[in-house]
Amino acid sequence: MSTVLPPAAAAPDLAQSAQQVLHEIFGYGSFRGEQRQIIEHVCAGGDALVLMPTGGGKSLCYQVPAIARHRAGLGVAVVVSPLIALMHDQVGALDELGVAAAFLNSTLDADEARRVERELLAGTLTLLYAAPERILTPRFLAMLESLHERGRLSLFAIDEAHCVSQWGHDFREEYLGLSALHERFPAVPRLALTATADDHTRADIIERLQLQAARLFVASFDRPNIRYTIVEKDEPKKQLLRFLRDEHDGDAGIVYCQSRKRVEETAAWLAGEGITALPYHAGLDADVRRRHQDRFLREDGVVMVATIAFGMGIDKPDVRFVAHLDLPKNIESYYQETGRAGRDGLPADAWMAYGLADVVNQRRMIDDGDAGEDFKRLQRAKLDALLALAEAHDCRRVRLLAYFGQASTPCGNCDSCIHPPATWDATDAARKALSCIYRFRQQGEQGLGPRSFGVVHLIDVLRGKATDKVAQFGHERLSTFGIGADVSDAQWRLVLRQLIALGHVRTEGEFNTLALAESAREVLRGAVPVTLRLPTETRTKLKPARVRGGAGKAPPLPLDEPGLLCFAELKRWRAEVAREHNLPAYVVFHDAALAEMARERPATLDDLAAIGGVGAKKLEAYGREILRVLAGAAAG
Ligand code: ADP
Ligand code: ZN
């Protein structure tokens, strides 16, 4: 399958060398998941397509081979990335690790670009990041040609490879041109990486990037550290605030809303409640957006309230929660958006508030869209799968993974697993609701008023409430009037939501009036059992409040009193370094590394080197200072 091209003898040495790079440069003890196989394959010159979830560790898959191959004299790795805003931080992170890296994009002025080009041609760079449109210029291709002739072009890494597919929502025209790399430099190994996994996108990537001979690596799509929770939407902003205060005080996170207006309102409201919340949507000035994104990346504990315009390529590892105030379009979007939480592997939350209006709105948006009928059918099927997830009373993760073709067992880390919901047999209630909708229509056909009504009126009739509207249309005379008085309003809404979610009831027109779908017959006959979650209390507190570390958010490990003090001091020190280097704090050290230092409190450089994330360069650059900070904290 694979094309092994460079000197065969290089392969075993490089596998060894890759292991060394992991220890020395990155300070990590072992590869994660399939990283080893991928890295060894690429080190040996093979092509690969890597499908790995966000936070799975894709960057290492090309950074380690790039460093190992550069050490072996094979030259520079070129990394294609669509996100110029993030190249700066990636290069900054490599710089902190002592790896010679640079980027070429439109943010550089002519002089700076020339300097990078000179370094590139001189062979001193280990990695060069560039946007696809830059790579495909004749000027850049000529430079690659020159490097290649001298055997100094070691690897192409194509990040966010799904951008080549029109199927996905991140399609980028320029990516189509990247097949030119293979045509011009067939002997240079290529590694395409993406977190978007569906079959169609995968096939597109293989075909358009000509990766037919590449080895395919598909990692598990499970993100075990993310806890999935879907709550009944009641007063969404208040529910969100409670969730933030109870579970994520001082944490960084993203709140997704469907519209710009809702983004603005929610951000303003949270800010009024004392939360550092910033809005982000495509309608804001580019400058404002950049500033907000920058603050989110660089400051601790900023909550970004955003439309889906925000998020692609956000590499911030310590996003502790992703909250949805509106329903995403489909499971792919939900998975991708929630996947931005917890890339550092520490516990994180995916929280969503979901209600009847979400179902109605999403269905409506598809119906009213100007897509063709085929596409709409597909969108509806995808929405149905998401609604089934939202309505589920069994393990959310099992359903999520099943959607991506992965079998699993109940996870113990989702709302359904932690608090198995009580259910009730709503078959009878569902039949009552359907027959009431049917009666409305019969009456309408007899010329006695409209043929269909909305949810609120339907529930009033079922519960036997004497409203003006009931009197106006004589609905107290219907045989279904009052037949559901024993079921609460809230429960009726759930019944209808489920009926709409499952497609037995459609909503129509400007006022979302209800109509029976073909499949309603079966439910009416009693042939389809309907089981529902009992409405849960909106406030589901899932875990005890965390131990507080004095300054800001809690550490990722349980720490004793002196440990908490060390952690706070280390964070203060890190903030200074980050400011001096103009980089986000996590690029200097992750929270997890600081917490481990605070727990172990190493007294020597050797002991410090054993902490995860402390590589040779960081040890040399910061080791003494860290020991000094730790000693200072211990002395009080
Ligand atoms: P992705 O690009 O797949 O979303 P990243 O490459 O950003 O993921 O990696 C996610 C996090 O995991 C990063 O903080 C990275 O440093 C860390 N990481 C990756 N591989 C390892 C490993 N083998 N050991 C420890 N941490 C790792
Ligand atoms: Zn579960």
pLDDT digits (tens, 9 = 90+) for 223-243: 999 999 999 898 999 999 999
Q: What's the CA gap between 570 and 42, in Å, rounded?
A: 37
- Please list all protein residues whose beta carbon sits less than 5 angstroms from ligand 2, which is an ion: 395, 397, 411, 414, 417
Pocket test for ligand 1, best of 59, 86, 614 (most atoms within 8 A of CB): 59
Q: Model confidence at 622, in pLDDT bands (50, 70, 90)?
A: very high
Q: What's the CA gap between 348 and 313, in Å, rounded?
A: 18
Amino acid 449: pLDDT? 83
Residue nearest (by alpha carbon) to ligand 1 atom 18: 57
Sign for the pseudo-dihedral over CA of 308, 312, 314, 317: positive
Amino acid 124: pLDDT? 93
Q: Which residue has the higher pLDDT, 541 or 296?
A: 296
For ligand 1, whether the C-beta of 52 sits within 6 Å is: yes
pLDDT at residue 55 above 70?
yes
Amino acid 168: pLDDT? 65
Q: What's the CA gap between 385 and 402, in Å, rounded?
A: 11
Q: What's the CA gap between 519 and 501, in Å, rounded?
A: 12
For ligand 1, whether the C-beta of 23 sits within 6 Å is: no
For ligand 1, whether the C-beta of 343 sits within 6 Å is: yes
For ligand 1, whether the C-beta of 500 sits within 6 Å is: no
pLDDT at residue 3 above 60?
no
Q: Model confidence at 169, in pLDDT bands (50, 70, 90)?
A: low
- For residue 36, give the ligand nearest its CA: 1
Q: What's the CA gap between 366 and 325, in Å, rounded?
A: 19
Q: Model confidence at 406, in pLDDT bands (50, 70, 90)?
A: confident
Q: What's the CA gap between 483 and 437, in Å, rounded?
A: 13
Residue nearest (by alpha carbon) to ligand 1 atom 24: 28
Q: What's the CA gap between 388 and 293, in Å, rounded?
A: 33
The 10 Å Cβ neighbour count of residue 389 is: 21
Q: How far is the CA of 574 from the centre of ligand 1 (A)?
A: 20
Q: Model confidence at 541, in pLDDT bands (50, 70, 90)?
A: very low
pLDDT at residue 110 above 90?
yes
Q: Model confidence at 292, in pLDDT bands (50, 70, 90)?
A: very high
pLDDT at residue 312 above 90?
no
Pick the atom of ligand 1 nearest to 590's CA. Answer: 14
Amino acid 608: pLDDT? 95
For ligand 1, whether the C-beta of 194 sits within 6 Å is: no
pLDDT at residue 197 above 70?
no
Taking Cα atoms as reference points, which of 108, 68, 60 lies closest to residue 88?
Answer: 108
Amino acid 258: pLDDT? 93
pLDDT at residue 542 above 90?
no
Pick the atom of ligand 1 nearest to 58's CA. Answer: 3
Q: What's the CA gap between 436 and 423, in Å, rounded?
A: 24
Residue nearest (by alpha carbon) to ligand 1 atom 25: 28
Amino acid 510: pLDDT? 78
Amino acid 412: pLDDT? 94
- Identify the weakest region by mean pLDDT among 5-19, 409-423, 570-584: 5-19
- Identify the weakest region by mean pLDDT among 192-201, 215-224, 416-425: 192-201
What would the two tokens of residue 128 be?
Answer: 């060069």
Q: 6-45, pLDDT tens digit by residue?
A: 443 444 578 899 999 999 999 998 999 899 999 999 999 9
Amino acid 9: pLDDT? 42
Amino acid 280: pLDDT? 97
For ligand 1, whether the C-beta of 57 sits within 6 Å is: yes
What would the mean pLDDT of 393-412 be, rounded to a whole number?
91
Q: How far is the CA of 317 from the centre of ligand 1 (A)?
A: 9
For ligand 1, whether the C-beta of 556 sits within 6 Å is: no
Pick the atom of ligand 1 nearest to 30's CA. Answer: 23
Pick the atom of ligand 1 nearest to 195's CA. Answer: 3
Q: How far is the CA of 60 from the centre of ligand 1 (A)?
A: 7
Amino acid 148: pLDDT? 96
pLDDT at residue 376 above 50?
yes
Q: What's the CA gap between 634 and 636, in Å, rounded?
A: 5
What would the mean pLDDT of 570-589 be, rounded to a whole number?
89
Q: Are 455 and 514 in contact (CB under 8 A)?
A: yes
Beta bridge partners of 104: 130
Amino acid 553: pLDDT? 57
Quick one: what percent of the chain has pLDDT higher than 70?
A: 94
* Beta carbons within 8 Å of 363's beta carbon, 6+ residues apart: 380, 383, 500, 506, 507
* Coil vs helix vs strand at 444: helix
pLDDT at residue 526 above 70?
yes
Quick one: what percent of the chain has pLDDT higher than 90?
A: 64
What does the radius of gyration of the chain's CA atoms come to, in whole angstroms? Answer: 28
Pick the atom of ligand 1 nearest to 54's CA. Answer: 4
Q: Model confidence at 193, in pLDDT bands (50, 70, 90)?
A: very high
For ligand 1, whether the C-beta of 28 sits within 6 Å is: yes
Mean pLDDT of the chain: 89
What would the mean pLDDT of 77-96 be, rounded to a whole number?
88
Q: How far is the CA of 398 from the centre of ligand 2 (A)?
A: 7
- For residue 219, give the ligand nearest its CA: 1
- Identify the weakest region by mean pLDDT among 43-52, 116-125, 426-435, 502-511: 502-511
pLDDT at residue 540 above 50?
no
What would the mean pLDDT of 191-208 be, rounded to a whole number?
88
pLDDT at residue 5 above 60?
no
pLDDT at residue 548 above 60?
no
pLDDT at residue 374 above 50?
yes
Q: What is the pTM of this model?
A: 0.80
- For residue 410, give the ligand nearest its CA: 2
Pairing of strands 76-80, 303-306: unpaired
Q: What's the CA gap between 342 and 412, in Å, rounded?
A: 17
Q: Model confidence at 106, in pLDDT bands (50, 70, 90)?
A: confident
Q: Model confidence at 558, in pLDDT bands (50, 70, 90)?
A: confident
Amino acid 78: pLDDT? 97
For ligand 1, whether the C-beta of 55 sits within 6 Å is: yes
Amino acid 539: pLDDT? 40
Amino acid 6: pLDDT? 45
Q: How far is the CA of 28 from the centre of ligand 1 (A)?
A: 10
